Structure 1
Amino acid sequence: MDGSQGRIGAAPLEPTAVRRFLADNPDFLREDDGLLQELGLKVDGGNVVEFGPAAIARVHAAHQREALQRQQLEEIARANFSAQAQTHGAVVDLLDARNHADLAHRIDHLAQHRFGLAAAGIALEGERAPAGWRLLVEGQVDMILGDHGLARMGVLPTALGLFDGRQTEVRSMALVRMAMWEPSRQGVLAFGSADPEGFTPDMGPELVAFLARVVERTAERWPLL
């Protein structure tokens, strides 16, 4: 082994060192048939190293992976933009509610016709709830959400009662905690999807939590009678 080979063998294999070694030892790669074959390269009649089928296949596969990843990112970006636009439109509709019953009706209508869901509803703990709202016993919100705190998503059979009359249509759901009036009353905003994968635990709750805050502020316009 000559001095150049000794130096690269002793130093860390950094790209710049490898490039410098090959430039200083041009015959090293051309004369090592085993290495050329392993790399998918070959030497043509003019002593020019060419890419062989294996190397070309690797480059093509890498290009396909990059194109697929770019396509997936673009699809996610379009879906997020569409969801945000639909959410902003929903806020305008909710702010036009005339009373608690109308607010509950608008939530359900928006869920079905703007977001393509099966149902939506509002539930409130206490002794009474507004017309169109589901009544829960004290502490039931904590029982429904468990250790998830603000929001919970996924397949939750024990929460199907929040979708009174349409339980059989709901396969997955998004539940968000709400707190309204003084003293605070605990409640839940519930969205139900007919798709078992419509809401999954790994989804971010930001948009549904935002709608819950809008529902809270809108509901507080009117006293709880």
Structure 2
Amino acid sequence: MSDSQEAIAPPMDKNLTEEDVLSFLQNNPKFLQKNPEACDYLIPPKNGAGKDGKKVADFQSFMIERLKTDKEKVLETTQAIVENARSNMNNQQRIHAVILRLLEAKNFEEFISIITMDMSQMLDTDISVFVVESNGQDIPHVQTNGIRVLPEGTIDNWMNGQSVMLQNNISGIEAIYGGGANLVQSQALLRIDIAMDTPPAILAFGSRDPNMFGEGQATELISFLARVVERAFRNWLKQPN
């Protein structure tokens, strides 16, 4: 490589001495703490004494400890990713099992029973409820055992335009959970729109675990479940889309 092709080092102060560097570090004791990448440019000193007879700091040990810390962080992140993937797979399998169970219903009453009885066990929640707005006459089978009825406008007020609402550290709503409200400390509310000419409904899951549901959790799987429930309702009630 010719002189013209060699990398040109940045200009340095020719008057800069080792004493200047040492003085700077003494006056800025947190320099390496704030700029740990500077250690990458240093050759770790050997154990022993410096020019003044004092013990030399073992930067090699420092670098090893830093590598250990970095490794631990990587392992923690990897473990979190693996656990999250396992949890997602487990949840997916549960949702699939619930959907297959819904498809096995032989009549509307069994379909509702699966929603209000089987779902909570299959999804590892404490209670599952189907709630619909109604005046008692505008939806066929609205008086079926297991369906809870609310006054018109209630669900819109609760959901505030959202299709899924996840809440933690709450007190259960008696209008939804009835006598089980005292047990509920977190919940998932899924809006169910059966058809254009039917009032809104919600599929509610309640848990005694205050952090089982909460903002920031993924909602794709339970949203898919809600869409399946909607379509199943239409089939049973012979409602158009």
TM above 0.5: yes
Matches within 5 A, 1:69-84: 69-84=77-92
Q: Please name the residue that 2:51 is paired with.
A: none
Matches within 5 A, 1:42-191: 42-44=44-46, 52-128=60-136, 129-131=142-144, 132-147=146-161, 149-155=162-168, 156-157=170-171, 159-191=173-205
Q: Distance in 2 between matches of 1:133 and 1:218?
A: 15
- Bigger CA radius of gyration: 2
Cα pair 1:144 1:158 within 8 Å, conserved: no
* Total equivalences in the alignment: 196
Q: Distance in 2 between matches of 1:103 and 1:187?
A: 16
Cα pair 1:100 1:130 within 8 Å, conserved: no
Cα pair 2:187 2:207 within 8 Å, conserved: yes
SS, match of residue 62 in structure 1: helix
Q: Please name the residue that 2:139 is paired with.
A: none
- Name the amino acid aligned to 2:108: H
Q: Distance in 1 between matches of 2:172 and 2:154?
A: 11
Cα pair 2:133 2:152 within 8 Å, conserved: yes
Q: Distance in 2 between matches of 1:103 and 1:201?
A: 29
Structure 1: gaps spanning 5 or more residues: 11-27
Structure 2: gaps spanning 5 or more residues: 1-5, 33-38, 48-57, 137-141
Q: Percent identity?
A: 24
TM-score by length of 2: 0.71
- The range that moved more, 181-190 or 114-123, is 181-190
The structure in which a higher percent of residues are strand is 1
Q: Which runs of 4+ in 1 moved over 6 A?
A: 32-35
Q: How far off is 1:33 after superposition?
A: 7.5
- Aligned CA RMSD, in angstroms, stands at 3.1
Q: Distance in 2 between matches of 1:93 and 1:9?
A: 75
Cα pair 2:98 2:119 within 8 Å, conserved: no
TM-score by length of 1: 0.76
Q: Please name the residue that 1:223 is paired with.
A: 237
Q: Please name the residue that 2:35 is paired with.
A: none
Q: Is the alpha carbon distance of 1:182 and 1:200 closer, same or farther for their aligned partners in structure 2, counting shifts above 3 Å?
A: closer
Q: How far off is 1:104 after superposition?
A: 2.5
Q: Distance in 1 between matches of 2:215 and 2:197?
A: 31
